[in-house]
């Protein structure tokens, strides 16, 4: 019996050792979220959904704001719409000693909406998100994340590691999602057609949520105690912006009211839709994102100038 237990113990130890080794290769290729849960804890942050994670480039902000290191903690409308789950995750991610941070909250109608059949905050779908279950946000490698959220074989982590080649959706250490795809007009049009159809479906099934708006204001209130807060509306293609206008024609007005009420600035770039390239109508192409991020930074710097 002792020999049997000894052999079993060696077998288990061997499996653990292999998993620890494979997990050590987790990186920006592992999945779209893994690196959001690796440290260090930031004091300057970008928040929002997939528009924000692709369009706002921390390196550009770092260059504009010397001495600061920005982290993009935006996810997607499934994981990070504004709500109690996202606020809880933010509190676990942020450097608790932050006192003079800069926080860019990207807003659009979709990350402040909810399905018409949801009647309570307790029923918000992001309850099943990794943001609701994770405890550690600054471990590298983060085995908690891999155990809880990586459902594929861990051998895939090693096989798909960035040392071999970066994936088309590569998550940088600073949280920026770099998407590398074909941007010839015909290809973009096909992706945009699909995206427009998807968002027409969203518009028919969702409504702007007062509970999400309250959660946004709760986040603003929390972050104002740690620095400066800016709301930013990111543009999309003309077709997507037309759809947004038909869905929530007063959205920018509501954001201006919220910013005034909470004593923060709102930068509305939705009318600048024609200035940028979009990979699918909804998400800014990476090079356009760098230009757009510089525009955000310049707006903040102009706001900081004494009158």
Cα–Cα distance, 229 to 104 (Å, whole number): 6
Q: Can you point out the beta strands (E) in the chain?
A: 44-47, 70-72, 101-106, 113-115, 169-171, 177-179, 206-208, 227-233, 265-268
CA-to-CA distance for 46 and 151, rounded, in angstroms? 28
Task: Give the DSSP letter string of 10-30.
Answer: HHHHHHHHHHHHHHTT--TTS
Angstrom distance (rounded) from CA 259 to CA 231: 7
Which has more pLDDT, 229 or 12? 229
Helix, strand counts (H, E) of the chain:
12, 9
Distance CA 110, CA 206 (A): 9
- The pLDDT, as a whole number, for residue 5 is 67
pLDDT (tens digit per residue) in 218-247: 999 999 999 999 999 999 999 999 999 999
Quick one: pLDDT band at residue 39, thresholds 50, 70, 90? confident
Mean pLDDT of 44-48: 98
pLDDT per position as a tens digit, 75-91: 999 999 999 999 999 99
* CB atoms closer than 10 angstroms to residue 10: 10
CA 91 to each of CA 134, 175, 223, 236, 280: distance values in angstroms, whole numbers, following the listed order: 12, 17, 9, 29, 32
Parallel/antiparallel/unpaired status of strands 265-268 and 227-233: parallel
Residue 6 or residue 180, greater confidence: 180
Q: What is the pTM of this model?
A: 0.94
**Residues 77, 111: contact at Cβ < 8 Å?**
yes
Average pLDDT score over the chain:
95
The whole-number average pLDDT for the span 136-153 is 96
User: Is residue 252 over pLDDT 90?
Assistant: yes
User: How confident is the model at residue 276, as a pLDDT?
Assistant: 98
Category of 193 on φ-ψ map: left (φ > 0), alpha (ψ -120 to 50) or beta: alpha
Q: Which residues share a beta bridge with 207?
A: 114
Q: Say yes or no to pLDDT of 305 above 90.
A: no
pLDDT tens, residue by residue, 188-219: 999 999 999 999 999 999 999 999 999 999 99
Predicted confidence band at 307 (pLDDT cuts at 50, 70, 90)? very low
Q: How far apart are CA 272 and CA 185, in angstroms?
A: 19
Read off the pLDDT of residues 63-121 as tens digits, 9 standing for 90 and up: 999 999 999 999 999 999 999 999 999 999 999 999 999 999 999 999 999 999 998 99
pLDDT given at position 306: 57
Asked if 113 and 144 count as a contact pair (C-beta separation under 8 A), the reply is no
The mean pLDDT of 54-71, rounded to a whole number, is 97
Beta bridge partners of 113: 208
CB contact set of 243 (below 8 Å; sequence gap of 6+): 196, 199, 200, 203
Q: Which two tokens stand for residue 127?
A: 């309850």
Structural domains in the chain, CATH included, are 41-135+166-304 (3.40.50.1110)
């Amino acid at each position: 019996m002792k020999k049997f237990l000894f052999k079993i113990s060696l077998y288990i130890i061997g499996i653990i050792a292999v998993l620890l080794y494979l997990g050590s290769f987790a990186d920006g290729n592992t999945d779209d979220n893994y690196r959001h849960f690796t440290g260090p804890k930031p004091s300057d942050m970008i928040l929002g959904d997939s528009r924000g994670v692709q369009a706002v480039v921390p390196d550009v902000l770092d260059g504009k704001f010397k001495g600061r290191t920005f982290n993009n903690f935006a996810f997607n409308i499934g994981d990070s719409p504004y709500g109690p789950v996202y606020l809880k995750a933010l509190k676990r991610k942020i450097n608790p000693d932050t006192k003079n941070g800069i926080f860019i909250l990207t807003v659009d109608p979709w990350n402040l909406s909810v399905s018409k059949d949801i009647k309570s905050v307790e029923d918000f779908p992001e309850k099943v998100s990794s943001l609701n279950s994770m405890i550690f946000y600054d471990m590298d490698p983060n085995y908690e994340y891999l155990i809880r959220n990586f459902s594929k074989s861990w051998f895939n982590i090693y096989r798909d590691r960035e040392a071999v080649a970066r994936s088309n959706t590569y998550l940088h250490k600073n949280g920026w999602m770099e998407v590398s795809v074909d941007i010839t007009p015909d290809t973009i049009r096909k992706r945009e057609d699909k995206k427009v159809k998807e968002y027409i479906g969203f518009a028919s099934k969702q409504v702007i949520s007062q509970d999400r708006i309250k959660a946004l204001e709760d986040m603003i209130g929390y972050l104002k105690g740690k620095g400066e807060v800016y709301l930013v509306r990111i543009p999309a293609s003309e077709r997507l912006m037309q759809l947004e206008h038909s869905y929530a024609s007063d959205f920018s007005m509501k954001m201006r009211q919220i910013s005034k009420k909470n004593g923060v600035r709102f930068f509305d770039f939705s009318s600048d839709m024609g200035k940028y390239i979009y990979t699918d109508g909804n998400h800014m192409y990476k090079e356009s994102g760098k230009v757009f991020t510089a525009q955000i930074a310049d707006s903040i710097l102009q706001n900081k100038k004494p009158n």
